[in-house]
């Protein structure tokens, strides 16, 4: 058994320094061309720092999805007073936001997989910017409710797009080291959002929140428009395929124009030199040289015209059912389901903290916002530790199986225990989150020092984000070619279950008490944790079964296509025979 490297989808490969494979060449008794052909192509043409820039840029863009939900919270009372509506009515804007946050990525994720990442980003940010302008100037509750849904539709897909871009350019062997960037939006938004929203609404009014989002998202939109390259492997392969101009950045278009201008000037100079070489003294000798130079110039011009021909624009429209159907696959369903349960606990704590901290400790909104910092600190610490841990565990399993590891080339994971490599790191952190959530409600029930729940929040952030990192990376590993749709399925389950628990946690606390309410959540964590061990044990078998099912489906489609072609040929032959008669 060995790790086979999947082709990059292009004949060209990068020449960067990382992940070189040493070959024996003639010393191994093989012809040099045979050795070279056995070396798999690189997964991506981008260098290490180019990958880091791309991942950092899309992570910054993904920040707008969670922060838009959190920055709005401190202004709820002001909005209710301004529009003269009840707390229930203003809370409805949060519920509808979360529903759209779960549903929209099913459409945009499919669009990104078929039509490209850049078009999806452009559509999302244009909708988001216009929605923020509408919210900043809205005059009544009805318009607030409707435009808030549009705002959610624009921002909610940025996290799914971020994960899809990472899958495009980063191999499974090095994917862990980039996870620290991709989870920063989820880590920082619960802390930064409420504090920023509180300051803006208190000193500039609640409408200033949306003007701030307009300005910041417009800046991000310009950065993506100018510099973020298209990474969808269905369009650009490993990044070396020249895409349609619609997919190129403004910087790439400027480079293309500059290159064409330089080529034109060079060919113009060659023609002038050709005309100047005709002299009467060596006319006969120069005829052959002139002909050769003219021929080479003609070939150069032909090559320039060929390179300037626009590749065809092929746009595949999204299939929103793909993300929904993924929830019913064994592997995706188990991963997404348990990850949604973990996040339901996170939403429950986040929703319960304001009312419970105000009731028990008498804190105001600003201090309550600061109470989210320990959770964010634990999350941030784990986010940057998890990457090296997952990469180490991946290499450990590869060494155990005697398999080579090359970070620059995507390995074929068909027979590699990738579920075990990821979940061996993630499951202990899920256990940590379970223990913390069992204790969290009781320390508030007993009204202990605030330092105790702060410490528990720190460790809960470690467990929750750490497990989420492992499952997010594994989700991309087992969904090659459909990363956008897979992350959208994860987002759908997480948002819908989070919305449900956010709505019921306060009634649960009022009915059972905060201690028993969170004990039930902890028991829910523990009850479904064995599913992760089941996935770790049977992951390879699940993937083989899915591949066999997909192969049968493709074979059936091919047979139907061939039968249709034969029927068309038969009908055409009959028609041709009748015409001949």
Sign of CA dihedral 270, 275, 278, 279: negative
411: which strand partners?
5
Tell me the pLDDT tens digit for each residue of 2-39.
443 443 433 333 333 333 333 333 333 334 343 344 44
Q: What is the pLDDT of residue 521?
A: 92
> How long a stretch of residues is the chain?
581
304-339 CB burial, b ≥16 within 10 A, e <16? eeeeeeeeeeeeeebbbebbeebeebbbbbbbbebb
341: confidence class by pLDDT, cuts 50, 70, 90: very high
Higher pLDDT, 288 or 248: 248
Q: Where are the alpha helices (DSSP H) in 481-529?
A: 483-512, 514-528
Confidence at residue 41, expressed as pLDDT on a 0 to 100 scale: 64
Helix (H) or strand (E) holding 564: helix 530-580
What one-character DSSP code corresponds to residue 3? P
End-to-end CA distance of the chain: 63
Cβ(489)–Cβ(452) below 8 Å: no
Task: Count Cα atoms within 13 angstroms, Cβ side, for 428.
Answer: 9
Least confident of 61-65, 412-416, 417-421, 515-519: 412-416
Distance CA 78, CA 250 (A): 42
Look at residue 306 and tell me whether its pLDDT is greater than 80: no
Euclidean distance between CA atoms 357 and 66, whole angstroms:
22
The predicted structure's pLDDT at residue 504: 84
More confident of the two residues 517 and 351: 517
Instruction: Render the burial of 210-229: b for 16+ CB within 10 Å, e for the rest.
Output: bbbbbebbeebbeebeeebb
Give dist(CA 542, CA 489) in Å, integer. 18
**What pLDDT does 10 receive?**
38
Residue 137 is predicted with a pLDDT of 93
Q: What is the pLDDT of residue 412?
A: 60
460-471 per-position pLDDT tens digit = 989 998 898 888
Q: Of 368, 74, 365, 369, which Cα lies nearest the Cα of 204?
A: 74
The C-alpha angle with vertex 553 and arms to 551 and 554, in degrees rounded to 5, equals 65
Which residues, 6+ apart, have CB-to-CB distance to 440 below 8 Å?
349, 453, 456, 457, 460, 518
Q: Which of 92, 190, 95, 157 is nearest to 498 (CA)?
A: 95
pLDDT band for position 311 (50/70/90)? low
Q: Residues 87, 93, 99, 101: is their CA dihedral positive or negative?
A: negative
For residue 371, the model assigns a pLDDT of 84
Question: CA 43 to CA 233: how far, in whole Å?
Answer: 10
Ranking 224-238, 291-305, 334-348, 566-580 by mean pLDDT, the lowest is: 291-305
Eight-class DSSP state of 248 = S
Proportion of the chain above pLDDT 90, given as a percent: 19
**Chain position carrying tokens 């040289």:** 289
Q: What is the model's pLDDT at position 122?
A: 92
d(CA 493, CA 168): 23
**Low-confidence winner among 37-51, 338-352, 353-367, 560-574 (lowest mean pLDDT):** 37-51
What is d(CA 397, CA 386) in angstroms, rounded to the nearest whole number? 17
- Candidates 140, 141, 534, 177; CA nearest to 337 is 534
> What tens digit of pLDDT does each residue of 344-393 get?
898 888 878 877 888 898 887 677 777 888 888 888 888 778 878 888 88
**pLDDT value of residue 573:** 78
The segment with the largest mean pLDDT, out of 234-248, 301-315, 354-368, 441-455, is 441-455
**Average pLDDT for the chain:** 78
Q: What is the pLDDT, as a whole number, of residue 390?
A: 86
How far is the C-alpha of 309 from the C-alpha of 322, rounded, in Å?
A: 34
pLDDT 10s digits, 117-129: 888 899 999 999 9
| Residue 490 predicted with pLDDT over 50 | yes
Q: How confident is the model at residue 443 (pLDDT cuts 50, 70, 90)?
A: very high
Residue 511 clears pLDDT 60, i.e. is over it: yes
Q: Residue 510's pLDDT is what?
A: 87
Summarize pLDDT for 164-215 with one digit per residue, the tens.
888 888 876 676 677 767 777 776 777 788 788 878 887 888 899 999 999 9
| Domains identified in the chain and CATH numbers | 48-241+321-544 (1.20.1250.20)
């Amino acid at each position: 058994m060995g790790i086979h490297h999947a082709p990059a989808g292009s004949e060209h490969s990068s020449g960067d320094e990382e992940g070189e494979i040493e070959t024996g060449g003639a010393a191994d008794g093989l012809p040099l061309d045979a050795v070279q052909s056995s070396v798999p192509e690189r997964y991506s043409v981008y260098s290490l720092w180019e990958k880091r820039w791309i991942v950092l840029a899309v992570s910054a863009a993904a920040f707008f999805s969670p922060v838009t939900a959190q920055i709005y919270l401190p202004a709820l009372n002001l909005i209710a007073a301004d529009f003269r509506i009840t707390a229930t009515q203003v809370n409805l804007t949060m519920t509808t936001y979360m529903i759209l946050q779960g549903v929209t990525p099913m459409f945009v994720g499919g669009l990104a997989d078929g039509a490209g990442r850049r078009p999806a980003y452009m559509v999302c940010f244009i909708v988001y910017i216009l929605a923020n302008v509408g919210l900043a100037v809205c005059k009544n509750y009805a318009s607030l409710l409707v435009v808030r849904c549009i705002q959610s539709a624009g921002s909610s897909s940025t996290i799914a797009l971020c994960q899809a871009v990472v899958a495009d350019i980063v191999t499974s062997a090095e994917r862990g080291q980039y996870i620290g960037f991709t989870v920063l939006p989820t880590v920082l938004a619960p802390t930064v959002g409420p504090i920023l929203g509180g300051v803006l609404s208190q000193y500039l009014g609640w409408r200033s929140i949306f003007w701030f989002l307009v300005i910041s998202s417009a800046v991000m939109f310009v950065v993506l428009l100018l510099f973020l390259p298209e990474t969808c492997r269905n369009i650009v392969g490993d990044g070396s395929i020249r895409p349609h101009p619609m997919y190129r950045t403004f910087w790439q278009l400027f480079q293309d124009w500059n290159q064409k201008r330089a080529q034109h000037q060079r060919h113009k100079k060659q023609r002038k030199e050709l005309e100047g070489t005709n002299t009467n003294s060596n006319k006969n000798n120069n005829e052959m040289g002139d002909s050769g130079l003219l021929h080479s110039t003609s070939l150069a011009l032909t090559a320039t015209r060929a390179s300037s021909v626009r590749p065809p624009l092929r746009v595949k429209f999204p299939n929103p059912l793909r993300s929904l159907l993924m929830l019913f696959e064994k592997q995706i369903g188990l991963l997404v389901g348990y990850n949604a349960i973990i996040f339901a606990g996170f939403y429950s704590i986040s929703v319960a903290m304001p009312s419970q901290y105000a009731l028990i400790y008498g804190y105001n909104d600003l201090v309550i916002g600061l109470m989210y910092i320990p959770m964010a600190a634990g999350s941030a610490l784990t986010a940057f530790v998890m990457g090296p841990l997952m990469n180490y565990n991946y290499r450990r399993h590869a060494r155990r199986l005697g398999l080579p590891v090359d970070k620059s080339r995507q390995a074929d994971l068909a027979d590699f225990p990738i579920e075990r490599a990821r979940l061996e790191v993630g499951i202990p952190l899920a256990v940590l989150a379970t223990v913390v959530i069992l204790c969290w409600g009781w320390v508030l029930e007993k009204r202990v020092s605030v330092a105790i729940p702060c410490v528990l929040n720190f460790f809960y952030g470690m467990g929750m984000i750490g497990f989420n990192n492992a499952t997010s990376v594994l989700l991309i590993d087992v969904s090659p070619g459909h990363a956008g749709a897979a992350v959208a399925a994860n987002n759908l389950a997480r948002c819908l279950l989070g919305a449900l628990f956010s709505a019921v946690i306060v009634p649960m606390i009022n009915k059972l008490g905060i201690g028993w309410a969170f004990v039930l959540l902890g028991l829910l964590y523990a009850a479904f944790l064995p599913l992760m061990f089941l996935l770790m044990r049977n992951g390879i078998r699940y993937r083989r079964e899915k591949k066999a099912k997909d192969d049968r489906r493709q074979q059936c489609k091919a047979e139907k296509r061939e039968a249709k072609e034969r029927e068309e040929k038969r009908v055409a032959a009959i028609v041709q025979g009748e015409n001949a008669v």
